[in-house]
Amino acid sequence: MSRIESDNPRVFEWPVDRTVILTLDLECDYGTAIQSNAYEAATHTPKLRRFLEKYDLPLSCFLQTEVLDQAPEAVEALEQASVPVDFHAHSHTHPHPERADFEYEIDASLERIMDRFSGNPVGYRFPDGAVPPDGYRLLADRELDFSASLFPSWRPGRFDNRDEPIVPHEPEPTLIELPFTPFSSRVRVPISVSYLKVLGRPSQALIGRRPPNVIVFDMHMHDLVTPSTIQSLPRPYRLLYRRNRDQGFAILERFVDDLRTQGYRFATISEVFTRLKVALEDIPANVARE
């Protein structure tokens, strides 16, 4: 899929400083990398809940809504957390982008999210960071509050977004994109559990020394635990996911400790979006500094 087309979207400063937004894609094991959907990793959310409670961390969960049918206990465990957890849409069946009926996926997911959860702004995340050419228009037409889909980086065969903003911006009127955070505007490697596992200690040390001011951080349950479905991955993926395969929670713990030591706070994506909307009421075109 080609890079996202954007006609010079307005870009904005983050409305917060020294802030981390932990986001979870609660979805089928390994996304579209295996042929059929399985939900073994998702059933380990009680372990994630205990981790969040231990460190008093809020979470923003982008929920593939088929999980509500196939592994409802995974969602229930996070709902029962004593820390804030907000839920947003993340497609319904999680198809490969080349086979996706995006309108169906958006509508089915939104219906389930809005029926089950209430009280927060509603965001959407396209699977695999693969925003289709008309994706933002589809979200704007449905009056979504925001998208949190964009990897402003490069993934061979999927997207090349190296020219896209690394800060909040407006790809469609009334729709805000809150992109994943790379190491910097020059080093466009996303900051996530999966990349920290694959790249190892040098990337972890860099976060400890020179973290971005605001970090939209990504993880999946199959980054934190290793389901048996790893055996179904194609060999190249299997080799990648075996790197530091049992270190997901340890890497996440070090990430949290490093940022807390440097004075960072943790917030939900709903909180940050709400603060951005308030700021934009006073400064409608606040140009960002990358």
Average of pLDDT values for 121-138?
94
Here the CATH number for the domain that contains residue 23 is 3.20.20.370
Residue at 288 is within a domain: no
> Taking the chain, what is the end-to-end CA distance rounded to the nearest angstrom?
25
Region 172-184: what's the mean pLDDT? 96
pLDDT in tens, 142-153: 999 999 999 999
Number of domains in the chain: 1
Phi-psi region of 264 (alpha: psi -120 to 50; beta: other; left: phi over 0): beta
Residue 211 resides in a domain: yes
Mean pLDDT value across residues 45-56: 98
- Distance, in Å, from the CA atom of 33 to the CA atom of 61, rounded to the nearest integer, reads 21
Confidence of residue 289 (pLDDT cuts 50, 70, 90): very low
Q: Which residue has the higher pLDDT, 3 or 184?
A: 184
Range of the domain at 133: 10-282
Region 155-165: mean pLDDT is 88
Q: CA-based angle 241:247:252, to the nearest 5?
A: 105
Residue 282 makes CB contacts below 8 A (sequence gap 6+) with none
Cβ count within 10 A of residue 115:
10
Could you tell me if residue 204 is inside a domain?
yes
Q: pTM for this one? A: 0.93
Asked if residue 150 is part of any domain, the answer here is yes
> In the prediction, which pLDDT does 222 show?
98
Cα 208 to Cα 269: distance, rounded to the nearest angstrom? 22
CA 208 to chain centre: 21
Residue at 1 is within a domain: no
**Does 172 reside within a domain?**
yes
Q: For 58-92, what is each residue's pLDDT tens digit?
A: 999 999 999 999 999 999 999 999 999 999 999 99
> Amino acid identity of 119?
G
Give the percent of the chain with pLDDT over 70.
94
